[in-house]
Amino acid sequence: MRIIVVGLGKVGRALTRQLTADKHDVVVIDERADIVDDTVNIFDVRGVVGNGGVYDTQAEAFENGADLLIATTSSDENNILACLVAKRLGTPHTIARIRDPEYEKQLRFMRKELGVSMVVNPEKATAREISRVLRFPNAVKLETFSKQRIELVEYRLGASDPLAGMRLNELYKNLGVRVLVCVVSRAGVLTIPDGTFALEAGDRIYLTATPANLETFFRSLGLFKASAGNVMIVGASKMGYYLAKTLCGMHMKVRIVDSDPARCQELSDQLPEALVICGDGADSDLLAEEGLHETDAFVALTGLDETNIILAMYASQLENCKVVAKINRRSFAELATGKGLVDSYVSTGMVTVEQIVQYVRAMQNSRGSNVKTLHRIVDEQVEALEFGVDAQLPFLGVPFKDLKTKDDVLIAGIVRSDGNVIIPSGQDALQAGDDVIVVTTRKELSDLRDIVK
């Protein structure tokens, strides 16, 4: 597809990297000539220097119009304007990154009257991801498929973890619970394992199962942690607002700490059900005084990655406290998680890119692809894709043990048309109307037929 990316900040550049990897024809637009030149040289795309909200600038990008424009500048207004101009040029699909909570009230108007196909709110989307993890604190990260019938959970094995030393083919025999370990990351090396693979302490594993079976699985191991009921958030940013609002809606007790008196007053008015504390969130005495040792979960959402990592390390010393940190810089995130310094982390850039790429894949559905959902895991090195199964699939009814799939491809879950969930074995086979989850290190899969040799 022909795609225009307006704005080459972290999100714009990450999008350009992914879209070019997916073989799309991409043109980037930014007012900073040096950034445009750098992006053009790295990703081998075309670049236009100028304001993406100007008619002539967009017209220069694609003479006959684009299929999609994605506006990711730092200004909500510029992003809306770029989408409006794109519509006038005949671009059928537009995506705008919009952060201001005030615009949340006008999303229907933007879609209907302004023709914006999709609005991405990075802070709200990231807050939603944090809330999923707090609902299931065993998870480092949690993704859902097929209307939440199947969940994919990232879990890290501790030094004395009961899973350490266990072979995967022993899991069901020992625990009697249907889960599937579909990816293992060990010292930076990725493996899509078979049944003979033995787990070790320190492994990051990725499991698929129904929500009920995941809970039973961790209960059987004596590792289950109940949903957080008492949460402390440091940082009264927009993300902090969205997270606190979501958690209060889930009837959790929420405390927010921030040093800005005006912002604290504003948030206190917006969220009367939350306790807003004006003070230095990096002050250990203040955190202790406000009940840090009594919290089930601690979330560091300040504007500095370094501060969030240090706060997370401090809170991680508490027993039975789920800790989440916002870390946008990828090198910091890899260091913090690789060394076990941080339990879970979120990145607004990664969440935003994933949402937009999902929309792009959905556009491809009308052109022959049948990807319904896409999640990137293991630091974006692995894709977990949900496909719809049509009646023309050539290997319908073929047992998986007889199906010659490509290397580094694993069928991780099936949801039948009647809602029945299957964690597959070699005897199972696909049926028309199924939704199937495929986990792979390959980035070129766009159709279910691509999984076979």
pLDDT in tens, 318-346: 878 899 999 988 888 878 876 777 888 99
Query: Which of the four pLDDT bands, split at 50, 70 and 90, describes residue 370?
Result: low
Looking only at the bridges linking them, the beta strands covering 68-71 and 46-49 are: unpaired
Mean pLDDT value of segment 182-196: 90
Structure-model confidence comparison of residues 442 and 157, the more confident one? 157
Burial 43-73 (b: 16+ CB within 10 A, else e): bebebbbbbbbeeebbeebbeebbbbbbbbb
- pLDDT of 103 strictly over 90: no
Hey, is 279 helix, strand or coil?
Answer: coil
Mean pLDDT value of segment 134-159: 87
Q: Residue 411, CB half-sphere, CA atoms under 13 Å: how many?
A: 28
pLDDT in tens, 164-174: 999 998 887 88
User: To 10 degrees, what angle do helices 238-249 and 122-135 make?
Assistant: 40
pLDDT in tens, 273-323: 999 999 999 898 999 999 898 899 999 999 999 999 999 999 988 878 899
pLDDT in tens, 401-423: 999 999 889 999 999 989 899 99
Residue recorded with tokens 């043990």:
401
Greatest mean pLDDT among 60-69, 154-163, 267-276, 282-291 lies in 267-276
- pLDDT of 363 strictly over 70: yes
Mean pLDDT value of segment 355-378: 73
Mean pLDDT value of segment 432-452: 87
Cα 380 to the chain's mean position, in Å? 9
pLDDT in tens, 207-218: 999 999 998 998
* pLDDT (0 to 100) of residue 101: 74
Strand partners, 436: 387, 414
- pLDDT of 26 strictly over 50: yes
Query: Which of the four pLDDT bands, split at 50, 70 and 90, describes residue 368?
Result: very low
Mean pLDDT value of segment 229-240: 94
- Asked whether 216 and 190 are in contact (CB, 8 A), the reply is no
Where helices occur in 136-206 by DSSP H, the ranges are 171-175
Mean pLDDT value of segment 117-127: 90
Q: How far apart are CA 130 and CA 140, in angstroms?
A: 10
**Contacts from 353-360 at CB under 8 Å and sequence distance 24+?**
353/11, 353/14, 353/15, 353/18, 355/120, 355/125, 356/15, 356/70, 356/95, 356/118, 356/120, 357/15, 357/18, 357/19, 357/22, 359/95, 359/117, 359/118, 360/1, 360/3, 360/19, 360/22, 360/24, 360/68
Hey, is 42 helix, strand or coil?
Answer: helix
- Asked whether 87 and 115 are in contact (CB, 8 A), the reply is yes
φ, ψ dihedrals at 75, nearest 5°: -110, 120
* pLDDT (0 to 100) of residue 117: 84
* pLDDT (0 to 100) of residue 396: 93
Strand partners, 345: 325
- Asked whether 233 and 240 are in contact (CB, 8 A), the reply is yes
Mean pLDDT value of segment 227-246: 93
In the chain, count of helices (H) and strands (E)? Answer: 14, 22
Sequence-distant (≥ 6) Cβ neighbours of residue 449 within 8 angstroms: 393, 394
Hey, is 5 helix, strand or coil?
Answer: strand
Q: Percentage of the chain with pLDDT > 70?
A: 96
Q: Which stretch of DSSP H or E encloses residue 247?
A: helix 238-249
Q: What is the 3-state secondary structure (H, E, C) of 317-360?
A: CCCCCEEEEECCCHHHHHHHHHCCCCCEEECHHHHHHHHHHHHH
Mean pLDDT value of segment 373-381: 81
Q: How far apart are CA 103 and CA 333, in angstroms?
A: 31
Query: Which of the four pLDDT bands, split at 50, 70 and 90, describes residue 354?
Result: confident
State the CB neighbour count (10 A cutoff) for residue 219: 13
Q: Residue 183, CB half-sphere, CA atoms under 13 Å: how many?
A: 25
Mean pLDDT value of segment 215-228: 85
Where helices occur in 62-189 by DSSP H, the ranges are 76-88, 107-112, 122-135, 171-175
- Asked whether 411 and 431 are in contact (CB, 8 A), the reply is no
Mean pLDDT value of segment 376-392: 86
Structure-model confidence comparison of residues 107 and 186, the more confident one? 186
81: its two tokens: 């304007």
- pLDDT of 111 strictly over 50: yes
- pLDDT of 71 strictly over 60: yes
Tell me the residue length of the chain: 453
Q: With a threshold of 0.75, does the pTM exceed it?
A: yes
State the maximum Cα–Cα separation within the chain, in Å, rounded to a whole number. 66
Mean pLDDT value of segment 48-77: 91
- Asked whether 31 and 49 are in contact (CB, 8 A), the reply is yes
- pLDDT of 98 strictly over 60: yes
Mean pLDDT value of segment 53-65: 88
Where helices occur in 44-167 by DSSP H, the ranges are 55-61, 76-88, 107-112, 122-135
Mean pLDDT value of segment 42-69: 91
What are the structural domains of the chain?
2-120 (3.40.50.720), 230-346 (3.40.50.720), 351-451 (3.30.70.1450)
Query: Which of the four pLDDT bands, split at 50, 70 and 90, describes residue 365?
Result: low
Strands (DSSP E) along 246-400, which ranges? 253-258, 275-278, 297-300, 322-326, 344-346, 371-377, 382-388
